[in-house]
Amino acid sequence: MNSMQQPTPAQQDLSLDPFWMPFTANRQFKARPRLLASAEGMFYTDVEGRQVMDGTSGLWCCNAGHGRREIAEAVSKQISSMDFAPTFQMGHPLPFQLAERLTELSPAGLNRVFFTNSGSESVDTALKIALAYQRAIGQGTRTRLIGRELGYHGVGFGGISVGGMVNNRKAFGALLPGVDHLPHTLDLERNAFTQGLPQFGIERAEALEALVTLHGAENIAAVIVEPMSGSAGVILPPQGYLKRLREITAKHGILLIFDEVITGYGRVGAPFAAQRWEVTPDIITTAKGLTNGAIPMGAVFVSEAIHDAFMQGPAGAIEFFHGYTYSGHPVAAAAALATLDIYARDGLLTRAAELESYWAELLHSLKGLPNVIDIRNTGLVGAIHLASRDGAPGARGYEVFDGCFWQGAMIRCTGDILAMSPPLIAEKQDLDQLIDIVSKVIKQTA
Ligand SMILES: Cc1ncc(COP(=O)(O)O)c(C=O)c1O
């Protein structure tokens, strides 16, 4: 649409006040709103008719790009034939079909699926499964959960307790008791400008042994980490680090949960990061790319052994007192099935691996630009870490993010880290265009 067809906020008489926007500087945004109106392929069109390249797959979710007719048709067909059906003591075929399809993609052994509506719900579900599992196998003293500094696991109380981004925690008082954190793995001194997984930092996994010594293995239920931290600014696992976490957790009977809400569904070059980095956890949380962002849905993958530990007692007993009204929602499941068809047909779950070296070269060509202190990449994810201005952390990152938007590219900023995760349908020239804009704006920003 162009500006002739699409009314501007002023023309629409759009009141910006009532909507309290999430994770947004509301007053700043409303003073100069960045409003999107439509989307197709790699591009958004804003309300003034300007094209904006989607450098972030929406919010790390539209992996197959925008405007996928197959998803729209599947949703529309499903909503007309059955809008909703409960999955508590009732069922309908779609979530069963979807769970089966998903287990064809998931790492071997992770073949039971619990549906949610978001990443936050997937995380809280996974934490509850881990705690209840330990009880079910007679390990009821294992009540502690271990997260990691700078981890992001959504916004539920479970997620913010194991999460490690201070602003997401500090205003909310009482969090879950008995949580501890591993150190994060960002190490600019030793690893700056590494392409792919950094060489240094495997020893940070050993901190888990120290926590086990401190708390006692018999008191720890699970460790949860993002295989690659997305929200905190693309923090990669050092080489060997995830394997080491797996060894230590297995040795002590502690469950390992990978939060793959961002890395799942092809972002790092395989269906799941667990496969890309060859480490199989006990539980994987997902959401976002599951439906290409079109309808909210999450899925938690659980090993058969964990699932089977719940299937005890009388056959008429509910085994796990947990679930959401919309777990396995028919419209969301239809969107997910159509999404999986697209991923399979277009080879999107491995496409990031094909583009990875081109993308890495492009990103790393920005080394040497003003204020750039690190560049990180894996799959089709990249971060450009800018030096903070004295006394104004985050200001430079925000200015580049905002400048990019007005010059035609949507990226993200976390403080002074710029993050990019383009749709997996990107062609090389799209990536060129994205990096061109980002480079220009970095040069323009003091
Ligand atoms: C790793 C991770 N876990 C959980 C979440 C929360 O997902 P949602 O916003 O769908 O609740 C996110 C969102 O970005 C995430 O990146």
DSSP string covering 303-335: -HHHHHHHS-S-TTS-S-----TTTT-HHHHHH
d(CA 268, ligand 1 centre) in Å? 16
CB 293 within 8 A of CB 264: no
Take atom 3 of ligand 1 and give the residue whose Cα is closest.
Answer: 153
CA distances from 391 to 387, 394, 400, 443 (A): 12, 10, 17, 21
d(CA 162, ligand 1 centre) in Å? 13
- Residue among 270, 263, 269, 307 at smallest CA distance from 285: 263
Take atom 13 of ligand 1 and give the residue whose Cα is closest.
Answer: 154
The response to whether residue 148 sits with its C-beta less than 6 Å from ligand 1 reads: no
Atom of ligand 1 nearest to the CA of 119: 7
Residue 175 shares a structural domain with residue 42: no
Residue 3 counted as domain residue: no
First vs last C-alpha separation in the chain: 34
**Which of 231, 234, 283, 412 best tests ligand 1's pocket when mutated (most atoms within 8 Å of CB)?**
231
Low pLDDT (below 70) residues in the chain: 1-12
Residue 163 shares a structural domain with residue 174: yes
Residue 180 counted as domain residue: yes
Predicted confidence at residue 3, as pLDDT, reads: 40
Residue 186 shares a structural domain with residue 54: no
Query: Parallel, antiparallel, or unpaired for β 417-420 and 381-386?
Result: antiparallel
Residue 399 counted as domain residue: yes
Structural element, H or E, at residue 167: none
Domain end residue (candidates: 346, 368, 388): 346
Domain end residue (candidates: 312, 346, 380): 346
d(CA 355, ligand 1 centre) in Å? 25
- Distance CA(284)–CA(114), nearest Å, equals 10
CA 299, 304, 306, 312 torsion-angle sign: positive
Residue 154 shares a structural domain with residue 93: yes
Residue 83 shares a structural domain with residue 55: no
The response to whether residue 120 sits with its C-beta less than 6 Å from ligand 1 reads: yes
Domain end residue (candidates: 346, 367, 399): 346
Q: How many domains does one find in the chain?
A: 2
13: left (phi over 0), alpha (psi -120 to 50) or beta: left
CB 30 within 8 A of CB 234: no
- Distance CA(13)–CA(229), nearest Å, equals 40
Residues counted in the chain: 446
Task: State the residue range of the domain holding 248.
Answer: 72-346
- Distance CA(180)–CA(175), nearest Å, equals 12
The predicted model scores a pTM of 0.97
d(CA 376, ligand 1 centre) in Å? 20
Residue 32 is classified by DSSP as S
Structural element, H or E, at residue 416: none
The response to whether residue 151 sits with its C-beta less than 6 Å from ligand 1 reads: no
Residue 4 counted as domain residue: no
- Residue among 432, 431, 438 at smallest CA distance from 407: 438
The response to whether residue 117 sits with its C-beta less than 6 Å from ligand 1 reads: no
d(CA 120, ligand 1 centre) in Å? 6
Which residues are within 8 A (CB) of 210 and not within 5 positions of it... i.e. 6 or more apart?
none
Residue 109 counted as domain residue: yes
- Residue among 210, 203, 250, 208 at smallest CA distance from 225: 208
Amino acid code (one letter) for 354: E
Residue 181 shares a structural domain with residue 275: yes
Residue 235 counted as domain residue: yes
Residue 175 shares a structural domain with residue 105: yes
- Distance CA(256)–CA(259), nearest Å, equals 10
- Distance CA(334)–CA(271), nearest Å, equals 19
Residue 373 shares a structural domain with residue 313: no
Residue 206 is classified by DSSP as G
The maximal CA–CA distance of the chain, rounded, in angstroms, is 68
- Distance CA(134)–CA(115), nearest Å, equals 21
d(CA 146, ligand 1 centre) in Å? 18
Residue 237 counted as domain residue: yes
Residue 287 shares a structural domain with residue 386: no
The response to whether residue 119 sits with its C-beta less than 6 Å from ligand 1 reads: yes
- Residue among 100, 97, 109, 99 at smallest CA distance from 274: 109
- Distance CA(206)–CA(216), nearest Å, equals 15
Atom of ligand 1 nearest to the CA of 287: 10
The response to whether residue 147 sits with its C-beta less than 6 Å from ligand 1 reads: no
d(CA 206, ligand 1 centre) in Å? 26
DSSP string, 218-274: GGEEEEEE-SSB-TTT-BPPPTTHHHHHHHHHHHTT-EEEEE-TTTTTTTTSSSSHH
Amino acid code (one letter) for 91: G
d(CA 81, ligand 1 centre) in Å? 31
- Render the burial of 78-115: b for 16+ CB within 10 Å, e for the rest: beeeeeeeebeeeebebbeebbebbbebbbeebbbbbb
Q: 3-state DSSP call for residue 247? A: helix
- Distance CA(402)–CA(423), nearest Å, equals 20
